[in-house]
Amino acid sequence: MNRFSYTRADGVPDAIERHRANAAAAFIAGGTNLVDLWRENVAHPALLVDINRLPLRQIEACPNGGLKIGALVTNSALAYDPTVAARYPLLSKAVLAGASAQIRNVATVGGNLLQRTRCVYFYDAGTPCNKREPGSGCPAVTGVNRMHAILGASEHCIAVHPSDMCVALAALDATVHLRGKDGARTLPLLAFHRLPGDAPQRDTNLRDDELVTAVELPAQGFAAHHAYVKVRDRASYAFALVSAAVGVELDGDSILDARCALGGVAHKPWRDPGAEAALRGKPLNARTLRDFAAALLHGAHGYRDNAFKIELAARVIVRAFAEATQRSFEEAVR
Ligand code: SF4
């Protein structure tokens, strides 16, 4: 660990200014990912800007019927908030599928959005890694890649985003609120995270001077028909091999609206609004779901250890729709 300084911010503008004054500064809230990265010699902050006193711990109703969640709300507070549990149970379930109770008690919404991949090479400072050291190479492409991407990867990086929360936020069409030196702006959650392309060192479209201040959910929460299905190697405290967040609105056996975001398959939560639009008006049956899974997984590519994820993802999609609608679509995955 390197030597560092510590400062505590008193307000959002103060935090942004203290952070901007030092090119090697890092914001710290729960610190559950930053401290790991630091211990492994992947992160080297020269200045920690503690943002825990900022007024960003509220969960409040929006005039449009949605809900605004402050960036410092902890995962536990979010998952067990009565309004979130009642109106956005998909989000509660996804949050509770991640990490351990101890981590959820301190990890925050803003930190969850910004957590970095768990690629083993990224955490091993003794190996090359384009994300850690641009231009050094990506050993995962031909190496140990069981947990890696099947969609949206590049020759420069095949890492996946590790969050469960963000998969549900993507399915719910959440918006991210940001504040920087020039003021506030918002980004759709789906535009917040990036695919690796030729710059895998950049996980998100957050600017250097910006702080995540909140996440906003629209009014539609799919409380009646939703599911978060996470397939992993252990029953708890493990990252997803594949996960799916599904919300469905039905008219009898016909689909009025549906969302499906995948986790564990790409550098960002994976959604295809075009494939979802094609579901509208279709009968909810095995054929519809099989076609939808094929569309959502179009272009999927497996590497040495992870080609199984393509079939697994198709099955997880079908299972998530089955759970969400309390139906069985066994024939869709035979
Ligand atoms: Fe680094 Fe990405 Fe390759 Fe992993 S997959 S070694 S994070 S460049």
For the chain, the domains span: 1-52, 228-325
Tell me the C-alpha distance between 158 and 146, whole Å. 11
Atom of ligand 1 nearest to the CA of 139: 6
Q: Which amino acid is at 241?
A: L
Helix (H, G, I), strand (E, B) or coil at 177: strand
Give the pLDDT confidence score for residue 330 in this predicted structure. Answer: 80
Q: Read off the pLDDT of residues 291-304 as tens digits, 9 standing for 90 and up.
A: 999 999 999 999 99
Q: Does residue 122 line the site of ligand 1, with CB under 6 A?
A: yes
Give the pLDDT confidence score for residue 332 in this predicted structure. Answer: 78
How high does pLDDT run on average in the chain? Answer: 97
Q: Does residue 159 line the site of ligand 1, with CB under 6 A?
A: yes
pLDDT class of 334 with cuts at 50, 70, 90: low
Distance 145 CA to ligand 1 centre (A): 10
Q: Please state at what angle helix 286-296 crosses helix 308-325, rounded to 10 degrees.
A: 140
- Cα dihedral 220, 279, 273, 62 in deg (nearest 10): -10
Helix, strand and coil in the chain, % to nearest 5: 30, 20, 50
Residue % of the chain over a pLDDT of 70:
100
Q: What is the mean pLDDT of residues 73-91?
A: 98
CB neighbours of residue 155 within 10 Å = 11
For atom 2 of ligand 1, which residue has the closest CA?
157
- Tell which one of 124, 127, 131 to mutate to probe ligand 1, the residue whose CB is within 8 A of the most ligand atoms: 131
Distance 36 CA to ligand 1 centre (A): 17
Q: Does residue 18 line the site of ligand 1, with CB under 6 A?
A: no
Tell me the C-alpha distance between 139 and 322, whole Å. 38
Q: Report angle CA 195, 199, 204 to the nearest 5 degrees.
A: 50
Q: Does residue 200 line the site of ligand 1, with CB under 6 A?
A: yes
Q: Read off the pLDDT of residues 147-178 as tens digits, 9 standing for 90 and up.
A: 999 999 999 999 999 999 999 999 999 999 99
Tell me the C-alpha distance between 73 and 214, whole Å. 9
| C-alpha distances out from residue 243 to 14, 167, 179, 213, 324, Å | 38, 8, 31, 27, 14
Atom of ligand 1 nearest to the CA of 119: 4
Give yes or no for a contact between 254 and 282, defined as CB atoms under 8 angstroms apart: yes
- Architecture category of domain 1-52 in CATH: 2-Layer Sandwich (3.30)
Question: Which superfamily does CATH assign the domain made up of 228-325 to?
Answer: CO dehydrogenase flavoprotein, C-terminal domain (3.30.390.50)
Q: Read off the pLDDT of residues 276-294 as tens digits, 9 standing for 90 and up.
A: 999 999 999 999 999 999 9
Q: What is the mean pLDDT of residues 42-59?
A: 98
pTM: 0.98
Q: What is the mean pLDDT of residues 100-115?
A: 97
